[in-house]
Amino acid sequence: AAAMIPPADSLLKYDTPVLVSRNTEKRSPKARPLKVSPQQPGPSGPVPQPPKTKVPSTSCVPDPTKQAEEILNAILPPREWVEDTQLWIQQVSSTPSTRMDVVHLQEQLDLKLQQRQARETGICPVRRELYSQCFDELIREVTINCAERGLLLLRVRDEIRMTIAAYQTLYESSVAFGMRKALQAEQGKSDMERKIAELETEKRDLERQVNEQKAKCEAIEKRENERRQVEEKKHNEEIQFLKRTNQQLKAQLEGIIAPKK
């Protein structure tokens, strides 16, 4: 077993931890009724074993207590950890609970929810962990009185865990989907901003060209107006010159004709 720190306190009731030898450690994952094995090496455990194993192991009649223990260990497996190179195993308690134990369990649940500052609503891993421990303790209490009812509760617990895991996966995928959409929108926004900047630059360039063309047009109009005025002035001068010339010619013609009379 990998090195671990001793397990934290749980609402699920456990027996006193038992020290297991290295030989037993190799068999511990498969051997479910682990309370019997530490008794064989002798005084290796720090605490004497409960008097549940009074029935000799050579008895051919199956021990209902041992059978109930095996079912309990199958539903709620023992926990084990290594401390100072020694393997410790702690089984779930097989002691029936009284009404006061249930009341105490409820008080402990409320106390731990308050101590660990669990959120009352919404997603809270701390609250879910404590309620999961409480439900395991209820399964333990029910299994001691009726193994079949405990197995059915185990199915209910596993279904709840599977549903929560499915919702968690759905939540994570929706968050990832939302992040992708947000990134795409951000990317689209940057592309749109770049396109807007390009269009504004093009607009300014076109406005500059329009202003240049207007300036050219105004210069041409001014030049043509000046040229027209010059042409009109020249034309008027020519007309005046021709009129004066015509009058002079008329006067000369009248002077030539008049003496003959």
pLDDT digits (tens, 9 = 90+) for 52-75: 434 344 444 456 667 777 888 888
Residue 122 lies in a domain: yes
Find the mean pLDDT for residues 119-140.
90
Residue 156 lies in a domain: no
**The pLDDT of residue 211:** 95
Residue 83 lies in a domain: yes
Distance CA(91)–CA(28), nearest Å, equals 12
pLDDT at 6 over 60: no
**DSSP assignment letter at 14:** B
Q: What domain range is 94 assigned to?
A: 1-20+64-145
Distance CA(148)–CA(36), nearest Å, equals 24
Residue 85 lies in a domain: yes
Domains of the chain: total: 1
- Greater confidence (18 vs 133) lies with 133
Structure tokens at 247: 């009058």
Convert the pLDDT of each residue in 163-221 to its tens digit: 999 998 999 999 999 999 988 888 888 888 889 999 999 999 999 999 999 999 999 99
**The pLDDT of residue 24:** 47
Buried-state track 26-52, b at ≥16 Cβ within 10 A, e below 16 = eebeeebbbbebbeeeeeebeeeeeeb
Residue 155 lies in a domain: no
**The pLDDT of residue 62:** 55
Residue 239 lies in a domain: no
Identify which of 37, 96, 50 has the alpha carbon closest to the alpha carbon of residue 72. 96
Phi, psi (degrees; rounded to nearest 5) at 235:
-65, -45
The answer to whether residues 20 and 88 touch, using CB atoms and an 8 Å cutoff, is yes
Residue 105 lies in a domain: yes
Residue 98 lies in a domain: yes
